[in-house]
């Protein structure tokens, strides 16, 4: 049994409402980011101390996180190495502090907090400093990775379909990134390497969904030459609706499980994926398809192929009559 086998929803009718709604959400989100001084950065980008602690008995990440919370609410705790008794604790860098001061004070604060919580005995295996220069380099590479992904998508889609469709796909992907950043800011998630990875993942996910619809549009244009592009796109979206629903639901269930059961370390990644899957499905219909119609200047009237066919038939009829 196919899901939405005979779907006939008029999605394109609401394209202007969706575009305006997206612009409002992005504007509000960008305003929030501006008022808060930018997107909050994680320890990887700001710098800080990374301390590896070896416990003598199995200790859960949650117990360690609760113990470290008084030291820093932004501390990150995750399993380290192959031993279940070893964890890495990262705390952000204090303003104006020297590298040696951060390592000494940070390590001491962590040891005191763990002893106070009764998690000993333990030993500090290593203590490293993550400098701001390294963080800046990681941030730059993350930005360039995103730009390179969008550029590759633009070239691929333009080559496979048409420039108007390529612009629609890239704008939709950029829309998904902005919406995701907005929700990350509203829900107070710091930008980390995990979140950068999730953003690149949802960029590919969104474009894949968009290309499926565009591919169906290209097939339908060959058999529906007398229909306007807006109607062809709407039919194509309805024809692929079952596939979109199944794929999005399966992916969403997986990332929801990851969000609920993956622990604090993966929560930011899972939250980013949840927002990305939802907005990626939405942007395929209401952003990419709508922009393809607008930029093609074919939202009303028959397709160009139909016009050419009609002109040819008219000339042939006149010649026969003559």
- Model confidence pLDDT, tens digit, residues 88-139: 888 776 655 555 566 677 778 888 888 888 887 888 887 777 666 666 777 7
- Average pLDDT over all residues of the chain: 78
Are 166 and 220 in a shared domain? Answer: yes
| 298 vs 227: CA distance, rounded Å | 10
More confident residue, 303 or 162: 162
Boundary of a domain, candidates 130, 146, 181:
130
Among candidate residues 130, 161, 187, the one where a domain is terminated: 130
Are 296 and 159 in the same domain? Answer: yes
Q: Looking at the chain, how many residues does it have?
A: 322
Q: Over the stretch 45-78, which tens digit does the pLDDT of each residue have?
A: 777 777 888 888 888 878 888 888 887 777 778 7
Give the DSSP letter of residue 287: I
pLDDT score for 166: 82
Question: Taking 60 as the threshold, does the pLDDT of residue 22 lie above it?
Answer: yes
Question: Rounded distance, CA 116 to CA 312, Å?
Answer: 87
Q: Are strands 86-92 and 122-130 parallel, antiparallel or unpaired?
A: unpaired
The answer to whether position 297 is within a domain reads yes
pLDDT at 131: 67
> Which percentage of the chain shows pLDDT scores above 90?
6
Q: Is residue 317 part of a domain?
A: no
- Residue at 316 is within a domain: no
Task: Tell me the whole-structure pTM to 2 decimals.
Answer: 0.74
Stronger pLDDT, 74 or 187, i.e. the higher one? 187
- 148 and 254 part of one domain: yes
62 lies in the same domain as 191:
no
pLDDT at 142 exceeding the cut of 80: no
Which pLDDT belongs to residue 315?
Answer: 45
- Domain interval for residue 83: 48-130
Q: Count how many domains the chain has.
A: 2
Does one domain contain both 81 and 95?
yes
Same domain, 169 and 225: yes
Q: Are residues 140 and 119 in the same domain?
A: no
Residues facing 78 on adjacent strands = 88
- 107 with 196, same domain: the answer is no
Same domain, yes or no: 165 and 204: yes
**pLDDT at position 319:** 46
Statement to judge: residues 193 and 293 lie in one domain: yes
Residue 303 is assigned to a structural domain of this protein = yes
Q: Domain with 299 in it: what CATH number?
A: 1.20.1640.10
Is the residue at 5 inside a domain?
no
> Exposed, middle or buried: residue 155 (CB in 10 Å: 0-12, 13-18, 19+)?
exposed
Cβ neighbours for 192, distance < 8 A, ≥ 6 positions apart: 42, 43, 44, 45, 268
Q: Is the pLDDT of residue 316 over 50?
A: no
d(CA 138, CA 48): 14
Domain identity same for 107 and 213? no
Residue 69: predicted pLDDT: 84
Percent of the chain with pLDDT over 70: 84
From the list 98, 103, 109, 105, the residue with the least C-alpha distance to 126 is 103
Q: Does residue 175 register a pLDDT over 70?
A: yes
Q: Looking at the structure, do residues 111 and 168 belong to the same domain, yes or no?
A: no
d(CA 285, CA 237): 7
Q: Which of 142-151, 161-170, 249-258 has the highest mean pLDDT?
A: 249-258
Q: Which of 74, 99, 130 is the last residue of a domain?
A: 130
């Amino acid at each position: 049994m196919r899901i939405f086998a005979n779907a006939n929803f008029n999605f394109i009718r609401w394209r202007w409402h969706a575009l305006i709604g997206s612009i409002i959400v992005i504007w509000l989100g960008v305003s929030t980011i501006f008022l808060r001084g930018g997107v909050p950065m994680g320890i990887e980008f700001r710098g800080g101390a990374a301390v590896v602690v070896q416990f003598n008995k199995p200790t859960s990440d949650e117990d360690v996180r609760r113990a470290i919370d008084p030291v820093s609410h932004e501390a990150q705790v995750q399993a380290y190495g192959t031993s279940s008794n070893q964890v890495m604790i990262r705390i952000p860098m204090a303003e104006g502090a020297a590298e040696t001061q951060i390592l000494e004070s940070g390590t001491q604060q962590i040891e005191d907090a763990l002893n106070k919580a009764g998690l000993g005995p333990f030993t500090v295996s290593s203590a490293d400093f993550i400098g701001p220069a390294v963080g800046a380099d990681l941030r730059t590479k993350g930005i360039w990775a995103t730009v390179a992904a969008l550029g590759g998508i633009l070239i691929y889609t333009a080559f496979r379909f048409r420039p108007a469709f390529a612009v629609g796909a890239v704008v939709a992907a950029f829309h998904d990134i902005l919406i995701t950043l907005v929700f990350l800011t509203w829900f107070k998630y710091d930008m980390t390497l995990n979140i950068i990875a999730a953003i690149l993942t949802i960029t590919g996910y969104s474009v894949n969904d968009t290309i499926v619809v565009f591919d169906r549009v290209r097939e339908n244009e060959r058999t529906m030459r007398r229909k306007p592009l807006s109607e062809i796109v709407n039919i194509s979206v309805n024809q692929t609706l079952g596939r979109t629903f199944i794929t999005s639901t399966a992916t969403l269930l997986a990332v929801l499980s990851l969000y609920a059961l993956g622990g604090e370390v993966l929560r930011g990644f899972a939250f980013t994926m949840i927002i990305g899957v939802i907005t990626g499905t939405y942007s395929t219909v209401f952003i990419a398809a709508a922009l393809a119609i607008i930029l093609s200047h074919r939202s009303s009237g028959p397709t160009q192929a139909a016009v050419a066919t009609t002109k040819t038939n008219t000339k042939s009829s006149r010649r026969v009559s003559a």
